[in-house]
Amino acid sequence: KSFVQASDIQKMHKRFDNFSHKGDFGRILLIGGRGGKVGAIILSTCSAMRTGSGLVHVWAEGASKDVIHISCCEAMVEGEKILDELDKFDALGIGPGLGEVPQDLLRNIFQSTGKPMVLDADALNVLSKHPELWDLIPKGSILTPHLKEFERLTGKSSHHFERLDKASEYAVQHKVYLVLKGAFTSISTPDGKQYFNSTGNKHMATAGSGDVLTGMITSFLGQGYDPLNASLCGVFHHGLAGEIASKTKARGMIATDIIESIPSSFLEMQID
Amino acid sequence: KSFVQASDIQKMHKRFDNFSHKGDFGRILLIGGRGGKVGAIILSTCSAMRTGSGLVHVWAEGASKDVIHISCCEAMVEGEKILDELDKFDALGIGPGLGEVPQDLLRNIFQSTGKPMVLDADALNVLSKHPELWDLIPKGSILTPHLKEFERLTGKSSHHFERLDKASEYAVQHKVYLVLKGAFTSISTPDGKQYFNSTGNKHMATAGSGDVLTGMITSFLGQGYDPLNASLCGVFHHGLAGEIASKTKARGMIATDIIESIPSSFLEMQID
Amino acid sequence: KSFVQASDIQKMHKRFDNFSHKGDFGRILLIGGRGGKVGAIILSTCSAMRTGSGLVHVWAEGASKDVIHISCCEAMVEGEKILDELDKFDALGIGPGLGEVPQDLLRNIFQSTGKPMVLDADALNVLSKHPELWDLIPKGSILTPHLKEFERLTGKSSHHFERLDKASEYAVQHKVYLVLKGAFTSISTPDGKQYFNSTGNKHMATAGSGDVLTGMITSFLGQGYDPLNASLCGVFHHGLAGEIASKTKARGMIATDIIESIPSSFLEMQID
Amino acid sequence: KSFVQASDIQKMHKRFDNFSHKGDFGRILLIGGRGGKVGAIILSTCSAMRTGSGLVHVWAEGASKDVIHISCCEAMVEGEKILDELDKFDALGIGPGLGEVPQDLLRNIFQSTGKPMVLDADALNVLSKHPELWDLIPKGSILTPHLKEFERLTGKSSHHFERLDKASEYAVQHKVYLVLKGAFTSISTPDGKQYFNSTGNKHMATAGSGDVLTGMITSFLGQGYDPLNASLCGVFHHGLAGEIASKTKARGMIATDIIESIPSSFLEMQID
């Protein structure tokens, strides 16, 4: 078990040279934001752009397309047929505002790409109801449940130590990274290690905060970070951006403020 | 009768510890924004997010859903069936931009939840026309009329002292908190006390200013403040935020500026 | 003929006391923004809010309603029946993005209210084609043509002095205020006087700049300024806001920047 | 071959006098943003406004109209019939988010106007598939391919020197300016010269960066710059704005940030 600190994080970042083009910064696809929950995928999308992705595509439906264009004109909005072209993406992030979907959607995505992906929110809820999908999750994928989502996945725990043990077991057994969000977010790895994040504060307990994290981790994954570094850098900068934003927003901080402070967290950590 | 000052307000605020999650900061539902008045509920929604709510849901109709997502992507937009699930909310705020609705809407809401709620704008207009609803208002609810709305509710007064007496009577008789908005906003309580707010200025006399207040009081109520503290903290920070905003906006201040200054009012009052 | 300067302007402003409510700051209606030109009325609307109006209503059509709510959530959007309730407004502004309309629209508006109003853009184009409407314009109304619109109204002039004479004649003959926009905007009055504005610069020659001015003058008119003061204060603060914005925006200044700088122009002139 | 520096750029800028009106700053038309790619044309549109255009028109379809109004209320949105009125524009920019279109659209535009225009993105893709259109491109037009688009146009190159030679050949043969975007953007001219840009950095390798450049070059062209100066000033200020933005945004820079920094690039270069 180890406590991740600023000096560790700096080394985990990829460096890009001056001749990098937008393909080098990765092309990702975010899936979610259906029905009345398009706001969640907007937060993930803006967050991924601000974390440095070269190209962010979003799968959305009907009128939601316009909502996304207005909220993040840098993103590309796709129709359903994009599910047949998953290979062209460096990373996928699935779940924010996805709503209830048939398990076949996840099953098909898992089977049509072997690449690690980020699974959050409603995607985790599908997994909770369908344990038969667990071993189909591409190896090295990153699951980002908050406490309640984790409970749905693995049942109630009587205390946090038990919960951490369950997280580690789940990660080892299914060969995934399990990011358990909370006051000290833990990252459990397929080889049984456990990391604890040192950034963030209570003002980040606000609607959409988790959607922002999903965008950040997916972005790093798409930029070519391995899943461990993507997870650690994601939770670290998410927390640091939240700390920076709450200096001026205090209790009034909202998820959008976290996104707006991502660049400042890069500057503070001297990530060029 | 007492004049509320900064030192009183600081003690009225709830403190949250470092392990608080978004549920602790409350889940509220705002009802309004129908037809051509969706702007009003947008202001309440953004205001509630900025006041610290963990989760803000909005009931809106048709195309208004997209308008709300674009204007506040942190909010969740609900359809009509949410009225059958009122129990899951820590507080309700009803009225901004609600338009003309059948009295049955209010009656059903009053009867399906015993929790105090905030009633404003068009919800007050329904109450004015239907005094038979007055005793169904959940005890401890907060009514926030401006002078004209108060007049519709209780008839004309020949001077402001008479109006204050009527406000106190109404609060005592119907066991509600009556926030009478104006130059020195008064808060009348069910036990016959009357408080006067000390913040704010004339530049707050602008469209949507009241909708912002509704969002703030509902937010505090949902965070677990008792109705008196929610009312007093709401009007105090609303006024202070307005004062802060008008330093740079002067006569050009608009309601959105008040919302943007809510965090500064927390910082100035050292509310963490 | 006189050159209007900062010291003159300060005296022309109305002062509001601390007990002013939003009704005192005026309720105005803006008419325009049809078809592909809704952007124009958005600029007028935001501009009027920023100039201090208590309540701004807009008449728009179909999908444009949502566009306006998103762009200025403080405004109220109305349907066609509002034309039967013009009496409830303190001032009207007609024209920005109005598109081609039958002359009867203007005729009906002129005949159903005796109050001075602001006529701009496409409303002026209707007047150009229908001189029979000229004497129906409510006395004291304010026309705000740019050079081309003025030419359509009164024919070509061989030089600017001739144009100024025509402007004065038109104002006297039809008992209106004629604001001829350009490098030194002139204001011709019904009693034959002519004022010249001293603020503004070339960077204000940008799309939508005139729509902003329409919103400002309508706002002052609705706040209870007489038409001369509304015109003079409108063009002065419009120019000053433009000067302030162009300090940081240079040639890249857009109309929205002018609106955002209106509060600074009030602060600079010490208008509380 | 020459390396363009700040001192060269200053002399290439047009100066405007105090009596300039919005017509002097040019009226341009941008064509693109169809289907799921309206974000691209929004970036070009906002960029052109920020570069100093007097009037920016956009051809878009259906619901996209509202998206554009919301994102840039200063722009005018046109329907298909605008293609019959191309003469009234000082410059055209075609391609960002255009999607797949029949070659006849380009052919008709080329044939109905002899004026130089900017061709980018999907317009270049049409040219790649239809070499028979190459000699119909109005003389002096500006093509702005990134490396992949250039490859589609002229085939693969074994190294960058070969690519630069091909660019020069293409420019000479078809009498166009060829802006080959990359780490050191090159500008090849019809008379065989080649210029290299000295501004920009790796953080500009982000979605929509190219759309911003298209808006900037089209804007300068519409302001009356000759195609060489429009190209050189466009790429220079695009790069400088990116450098300025990345000081505060680092790796988190997005295309919108580049647009927001255009005014600062004018101020830094003392372009009034």
Mean pLDDT check: name the lowest of B30-44, C140-154, D219-233: B30-44
User: Contacts of residue B71 in chain C, CB cutoff 8 Å?
Assistant: 69-70, 73
Q: How confident is the model at residue A36 (pLDDT cuts 50, 70, 90)?
A: confident
Alpha-carbon distance of A135 to D272, in angstroms, equals 63
User: Does residue A54 register a pLDDT over 80?
Assistant: yes
Tens digit of each residue's pLDDT (9 = 90 or more) over A157-191: 999 999 999 999 999 999 999 999 998 899 999 99
- Predicted confidence at residue D36, as pLDDT, reads 75
Q: Which residues of D touch C37 (CB under 8 A)?
A: 76
Among A208-212, B17-21, B159-163, D159-163, where is mean pLDDT lowest?
A: B17-21
- pLDDT, mean of residues A3-8: 88
Nearest chain B residue to A201 by CA distance is B18
* For residues C220-249, average pLDDT: 98
At B223, is the pLDDT very low, low, confident or very high (cuts 50, 70, 90)? very high
CB contact under 8 A, D205 and A22: yes
Confidence of residue A115 (pLDDT cuts 50, 70, 90): very high
A202 touches chain B (CB under 8 A): yes
Contact call for C18 and B205, based on CB within 8 A:
no
Asked if the model's pLDDT at residue A272 lies above 90, the reply is: no
Mean pLDDT of chain A: 95
Cα distance between residue C250 and residue A211, in whole Å: 38
Of B36, B43, B71, the CB nearest to C70: B71
In angstroms, how far is CA A57 from the centroid of its own chain? 15
| Lowest mean per-residue pLDDT among A25-39, C205-219, D152-166 | A25-39
CB B237 within 8 A of CB B229: no
Q: How far is CA A162 from CA A142, A148, A167, A196, C129, in A?
A: 21, 15, 9, 16, 82
User: B209: which chain C residues are within 8 Å (Cβ-Cβ)?
Assistant: 22
- Nearest of A255, A244, A217 to residue B22 by alpha carbon: A255
Note which residues in 5-64 of chain A have CB less than 8 A from chain D: 16-22, 24-25, 49-56, 63
DSSP three-state, residue B186 = strand
Q: Is C36 a residue whose pLDDT tops 80?
A: no
Query: What number is the average pLDDT over the span C164-172?
Result: 98
| Residues D44, D49, D51, D56, Cα dihedral to 10° | 80
Nearest 10 degrees: CA dihedral of A50, A56, A57, A59? -30
Q: Which residue of D has its CA nearest to C65?
A: D66
Query: What do you get for the CA distance between the two ends of chain D, in Å?
Result: 29
- What value, to the nearest 5°, has the Cα angle with vertex A140 and ends A134 and A144? 70
What is residue C64's predicted lDDT score, i.e. its pLDDT?
87
Looking at residue C213, its pLDDT comes to 98
**What's the number of CA atoms in the CB half-sphere (13 Å) around residue B244?**
20
* Region of B132 on the Ramachandran plot (φ > 0 left; ψ -120 to 50 alpha; else beta): alpha
The tokens for A105 are 């959607």
Q: Phi first, then psi: what are they for B39, rounded to 5°?
A: -55, -35
Count Cβ–Cβ pairs < 8 Å, chain B vs chain C.
99
CB contact under 8 A, C18 and B201: yes
pLDDT of residue A19 exceeding 90, the answer is no
Interacting residues of C100 by C-beta distance below 8 A, sequence separation 6+: C122, C125
C95 has a pLDDT exceeding 90: yes
Q: Report chain B residues whose CB lies below 8 A from the CB of C70.
A: 67, 70-71
Q: Using the beta-carbon criterion (under 8 Å), do D66 and C71 form an inter-chain contact? A: no
Instruction: Judge contact between A179 and A217, C-beta under 8 A.
Output: yes
* Interchain contact, D49 vs C201, CB within 8 Å: no
> What percentage of chain A has pLDDT greater than the value 70?
99
Q: Do D88 and C240 meet the contact criterion of CB atoms below 8 Å apart?
A: no
Q: Do A78 and D36 touch (CB under 8 A)?
A: yes
Q: Do A207 and B20 touch (CB under 8 A)?
A: no
Contacts of C29 in chain B (CB under 8 A): none
Over 90: is that where the pLDDT of A63 sits? Answer: no
Question: What is the pLDDT confidence band of residue A34, given thresholds at 50, 70 and 90?
Answer: confident
Contact (CB<8Å) A272/D251: yes
Give the residue, B31 or B183, on which the prediction is more confident: B31
Q: Does B172 touch chain C (CB under 8 A)?
A: no
Distance CA D36, CA D64 (A): 9
| pLDDT-flagged residues of chain D (< 50) | none
Say whether residue D250 is in contact with chain A using an 8 A CB cutoff: yes
Label residues C49-74 b or e (16+ Cβ within 10 Å = b).
bbbbbbbbbbbbeeebbbbbbbbbbb
Q: Tokens representing D109?
A: 């535009």
d(CA D186, CA D164): 8
pLDDT digits over D114-140, tens only? 899 999 999 999 999 999 999 999 999
Res C250 pLDDT > 90: yes
Judge whether residue C130 has pLDDT over 80: yes
Determine the average pLDDT of the residues in A108-114: 93
Kindly list the distances between the CA atom of residue C16 and the CA atoms of A241, A267, C224, in Å, as whole numbers in the listed order. 43, 46, 11
pLDDT at A5: 86
How many CB pairs below 8 A link A and B? Answer: 99
Q: Is D250 left (phi over 0), alpha (psi -120 to 50) or beta?
A: left
Whether pLDDT at B137 is above 80: yes
In 3D space, the residue among D112, D161, C238, D122 whose CA is nearest the CA of residue B252 turns out to be: C238
Whether the predicted model's global pTM rises above the 0.95 cut: yes
Question: Which of A56, A73, A237, A240 has the highest number of chain D CBs within 10 A, making it the mutation to test binding with D?
Answer: A73
Q: Do A207 and B74 touch (CB under 8 A)?
A: yes
Which residue of B22, B66, B70 is in closest CB contact with A206? B22
Cβ separation of D263 and C248 shorter than 8 Å?
yes
Considering only the beta carbons, identify the residue of D22, D73, D76 that sits closest to C205: D22
Confirm or reject contact between B263 and chain A (CB < 8 A): yes
* Among candidates A21, A52, A54 on the partner chain, residue whose Cβ is nearest the Cβ of D252: A52
Which residues are bridge partners to B93 per DSSP? Answer: B30, B118
Q: Given the DSSP bridges, would you call strands D118-119 and D142-143 parallel, antiparallel or unpaired?
A: parallel
Q: Is the CB of B22 less than 8 angstroms away from the CB of A67?
A: no
pLDDT confidence tier of residue B158, bands split at 50, 70 and 90: very high
C-beta of residue C90 within 8 angstroms of C-beta of residue C117:
no
The model's confidence at residue B61, banded by pLDDT at 50, 70 and 90, is: confident
- Asked if the Cβ–Cβ distance from C66 to B71 is below 8 Å, we say no
pLDDT of residue C19: 87
Distance from CA of C264 to the nearest CA of B (A): 7
The CA distance from A198 to D9, in Å, is 48
Residues 6+ apart with CB under 8 A from D17: C202
pLDDT at A62 over 80: no
pLDDT greater than 90 at residue B5: no
Spatial contact of D189 and D177, defined as CB atoms under 8 Å apart: yes
Q: Tell me which of A114 and B75 has the higher pLDDT.
A: B75
| 3-state SS class at A51 | coil
Cβ contact B18–A254 (<8 Å): no
